[in-house]
Amino acid sequence: MTRDELKAAAVAMLDRAYIPYSHFPVGAALECSDGTVFTGCNIENAGYSPTICAERTAVAKAVSEGHRDFVRIAIAGKSKDYCVPCGVCRQVLQEFAPDIEVICLNGAGEEKTFSLKELLPYGFDHTWLETT
Ligand code: THU
């Protein structure tokens, strides 16, 4: 899938967002090293905290289907500013793909690209658990 196709896949997921509370749709398209793409949207809940972001929906779909080697993720929103991943999603991406490229789109389809290391410097991973 080309970069533009990955971005379009994220944008297409905006229509699937379940957002009765925030009215803030987010779509994501997560690309694996073998080219497989998993998409996601945000899914809100009346309990608020059970809400899952678009990025984590895509990661959960991928991991549960046996894919963990992620290379790129496109994240689409409809707002003026670029839709960047929240802190929890940064941490979840870090678990599987500390070197992933993160393509953030605004409502006009313009992009700003980051490395996850820029978005989550000094991120927590399994190595921190090996201190004893
Ligand atoms: N949201 C995402 O889907 N991804 C992010 O990284 C930022 C926040 C969703 C969660 C919630 O449904 C709405 O955007 C407002 O926070």
At residue 113, what are phi and psi to the nearest 5 degrees?
-115, 140
Distance from the CA of 115 to the center of ligand 1, in angstroms? 19
CA–CA gap between residue 132 and residue 64 (Å, rounded): 31
pTM: 0.96
For residue 15, report the distance from its CA to the centre of ligand 1, in Å.
14
The span from the CA of 119 to the CA of 51, in Å, is 22
Give the closest residue (by CA) to ligand 1 atom 7: 86
Specify the pLDDT at position 132. Answer: 64
pLDDT in tens, 75-128: 999 999 999 999 999 999 999 999 999 999 999 999 999 999 999 999 999 999
Per-chain mean pLDDT for the chain: 97
d(CA 33, CA 38): 12
Please say if 55 is a catalytic residue: yes
